[in-house]
Every structure is written in structure tokens, then in C-alpha cells.
Amino acid sequence: MVDERVKLCDECAFQCSICYNEINDQKNVCEIESCHCQFCTECVRHYCSSQVNTALVPIQCPNSECDQQLTLNELCTLLTDAQFQLYRKLLLDHEVTNDPHRLFCPHVDCGNIITIIDERKINREHPTTCSKCKTTFCLKCRSQWHPNEHCSDLLTPYEMEPDSNIKRCPRCRFPLEWVAGCAQIMCVNCKHIFCWYCLKSLDNDFFLLHFERGPCRNRLGHSRASLFLHRLTIVGIFIGLTLLFLITIPFLILIAPCLLCCRYKQIKNRLKNLTKLGQRFQQQQYTPTMHPSPASSLNQLNSSSLIDIEQELNKNLKNPLVSSSTTTTNVNKSKPELASV
């Protein structure tokens, strides 16, 4: 498959699916090792640079319908040395953040990775000491160990201050920065949707009713008109799906008997074929071999001997020169043979 694509690049111009430019030189075509998707090298280089600058790791194939990842060897040739070192650091942060058994030491300038062996201690108020800087902190809130207080009673700048511009995702604890705009935030790491001010989940709040009451009222960051259009769009989508479902129900009811009959005939034909094959197999396996019985062989011998005697008598009757004595002797000789049989 790869050879055919390379031949196409040699014979005619290759069109990149990102910039839609025609490339005549095969050296300017970049092929992803994992999925064999092809793009121009310049587009892939710009794509990887933008992914690193926005901290979107791991870097996947530029094709939106492909979910394969680029290898480190490919990225080493496409990125600069500084970008590649930054990508490896971001990749390590991504792996540790999404691993519930590993975490970074919260102490400044430590960066040590701590592995949690006991699963019962994960996301619970339990002290842990870093082996590098000897700092004891809480596994749940990542702050200094507080033996006489609960995590909810502590005023941490990442979680409890509503006007802070740096907070952690309430699901995966990934640090996020909010400058301005909508208060409905989606985490870039786990895709969790929540309110920036109170960190309440908004995954199932399609109409954004959370911003109509409570301390977060009218703090969405959009005008009333845009919020009304959003809700009207959601209602229109639900109504359209409902009408489509109601329209298709009668057609499904009419088509269902035909589909069932066709399916029944197919199953019936398959069962007939299976029964025929089973009968043939049984006939071939249990067919008895026919052996001649002694009585039938004796009858065959008697009939053959009588036929020979009749033929000899006819010959003697036709030939007058042969005496009658010879015929009688032949008959007498044949009788004992018949008796012996």
C-alpha cells in the first residue's frame, strides 16, 4: 500500500489535504508511520508546532478521521530542539496527570514523581512524604499536611477563591488558566464541562440554568439574547429529532413484517441446507458394506454347473459321431462334482 502511494507521488502531482497545493517532489511529502496518511511536510511541521505551543499532547494525525499518534522519531525531525524538549515535558505531564497512581510533588522546584501503591489512599486525606525534598502533603488537596483540618475547610488559591484566574479541573486536577470570556469551561485534558466560579459540573445542563440562580447568576459572560438563542436552538434540535422519530415509526411498522418474512425465509433455507448436509454425512458414515452370503455363492455355483452340463449335451446331440457312452460318462462325472459342491 505504501509503495503504491509513493509511485503515485512519482508519476503525478500530489495534492495535500490541508493546504490543497500540488507537490511534484516526493521529498516534500510527509507520511505518518502509524496510519500512512500523507501531507506536505510544511503543513505537518506547522501543525505540530501549533499543537506544542497550545499544549495539546499527544500529537495525533492531522486527519480528523484518524486517531493515530505521531511517534517521537517523527516529531524529532519535524520540531526544533526546544520544541521537542517542551513536547517531551508536556507528554510526561499528561501521562502523570492522567495516571491515578502517579503525581508530582507539589513543592516548588521539586518535580519529583511519586507513585501511590495503595489504591485506598488515592484522592483521600492521607499524608505522603516526598522522597526527594522530604515534604509531607495531603493526597487529596495537594497542600501541606493538615492533621486537624479537612480539605474543604482550607482556602486553597486553586479551588476555593471564585475570582482566581488559575484553578484546577475538579475531575482530573489539571491546572487551567482563565483570562476572560464564557464561564462555561471545558477541560482540555479530560473534556469535563464545569462552572469556573463554583466548579460545579455542567455536563448535563444543556440550557445553562445554573447561571439563572445562586451565586453564579448572570455571570455566564454572554448577553441575554445570545443565551435565549442558545436555548431556542437546543429546543429546536429536540423538536426536530422528535418529529423525525414520529415520522419514521409508521414506516418501520409497515416494513417490519416484510423484513421478518425475508429473515424467516433465509433462516428456513439455511436450516434445510443444514439438515440435508447432516443426512448426507450420516449416509456416508453409516452405509454398510455388502458381503455375499454362503447360500448365494452356493446357488451361483450350482447354476453355473448346470449351465455347463446343458451346453455339453447340446454339443453331443449336434455331433452324431460322438457315442452315447461318452456323454453318459461326462454326466456321471459332473454329478459327483455337483454333489461335492
pLDDT digits (tens, 9 = 90+) for 255-265: 888 888 888 88
Residues 6+ apart with CB under 8 A from 223: none
Q: Is 109 left (phi over 0), alpha (psi -120 to 50) or beta?
A: left
Q: How confident is the model at residue 9 (pLDDT cuts 50, 70, 90)?
A: very low
| H-type alpha helices, the chain | 2-11, 41-53, 72-78, 81-97, 224-286, 294-318, 324-340
Looking from the CA of 75 toward its CB, the CA atoms found within 13 Å total 25
pLDDT of 42 = 92
172 is catalytic: no
- Residue 108 backbone phi and psi in degrees, to 5: -65, 135
pLDDT of 340 = 40
Given a cut of 90, is residue 337 above it in pLDDT?
no
Q: How confident is the model at residue 303 (pLDDT cuts 50, 70, 90)?
A: low
Contact 327, 313 (CB under 8 A): yes
Crossing angle (nearest 10°) for helices 41-53 and 81-97: 50
Amino acid code (one letter) for 98 = N
- Which residue out of 12, 19, 182, 262 is catalytically annotated? 182
Domains of the chain by residue range: 1-97, 101-154, 168-227
Burial class (CB in 10 A: 0-12, 13-18, 19+), 103: buried
pLDDT of 273 = 84
Residues 6+ apart with CB under 8 A from 74: 32, 33
Domain 1-97 has CATH 3.30.450.20: no
Whole-prediction pTM = 0.50
CA distance 243 to 246: 5
pLDDT of 15 = 86
